[in-house]
Amino acid sequence: MDFRPYLQQEPVRSVGYRPTVSVGSEATIGQAIELMQARRVGCLLILDAEDGLLGIFTERDVLRKVVAADATLGLEDRVGAAMTPAPVTVRTDEALAVLFGRMFRGGFRHIPAMSPEGRLLGTVSIKRVVSFLADQFPETVYNLPPDPERFGSAREGA
């Protein structure tokens, strides 16, 4: 079995996504952080008044733009000023290979998932992707001792 055709045909929806956790761009950074803490998520999607996707606000944005020593934004500022605008997205009918490529090459941990019609559905995380990969090889991944080459190299007592 060659894994590649499978990855190039299977749609993103088979990996799944987490339903959207979002705030409006007018919310404060402090409110956004509280929501991330309460919902235990590493990123928020930032929406406009018509629920369209404006940007993504991640742990990394918190670290670099809010907490860092040279950060210019504070908890009272608008989250819209701290988000990463126009994030790379993926449609659930696109191939897994497309999702994996955008995630790996872009260095993203989260990618917003859109319906084939362009409606925002949620986010796919790299954690979910790596668990999906592990699940493709259950016999190999879940039954293997840590150091397989060690076995069989010497007879017990020899």
Partner 1 sequence: MICPACDHDNISGADSCAKCQMDLRALDLPQGATALEESLIHETLSSLDPKTAVMVEPDSSVRDAVTTMVDNNIGCVLVGRGRAVIGIFSERDVLVKFAGRMTEAGDEPVRRYMTPNPEMLESSTALAFGLNRMSLGDFRHLPITKQGRFEGILSLRDFLGLLFRWYPDLDDADGGV
From the list 58, 56, 54, 55, the residue with the least C-alpha distance to 33 is 58
| 95: contact with partner 1 by CB under 8 A | yes
| 3: contact with partner 1 by CB under 8 A | yes
Return the residue of 69, 76, 117, 157 that touches partner 1, per CB under 8 A: 69
Q: Give the interface segment with partner 1, choosing from 10-18, 19-27, 48-56, 147-155 (CB under 8 A).
A: 147-155
Return the residue of 42, 78, 84, 120 that touches partner 1, per CB under 8 A: 42
DSSP state of 153: S
Report how far Cα 33 is from the mean position of its chain's Cα atoms.
18
From the list 133, 139, 137, 142, the residue with the least C-alpha distance to 15 is 133
DSSP state of 149: G
Return the residue of 45, 107, 119, 121 that touches partner 1, per CB under 8 A: 107
Stretch 113-142 residues interacting with partner 1 (CB under 8 A): 126-127, 129-131, 133-135, 137, 139-142
| Alpha helices, H only, 2-108 | 3-9, 29-39, 59-61, 79-82, 96-106
Task: Tell me how far, at minimum, the Cβ of 153 lies from partner 1, in Å.
Answer: 8
Instruction: Name 11's Cβ contacts closer than 8 Å, sequence gap at least 6.
Output: 92, 93, 94, 95, 96
Residue ranges that bind partner 1, judged by CB under 8 A? 1-4, 7-8, 30, 33-34, 36-37, 42, 59-60, 62-64, 66-69, 75, 88-90, 95, 97-98, 100-105, 107, 109, 126-127, 129-131, 133-135, 137, 139-149, 151-155
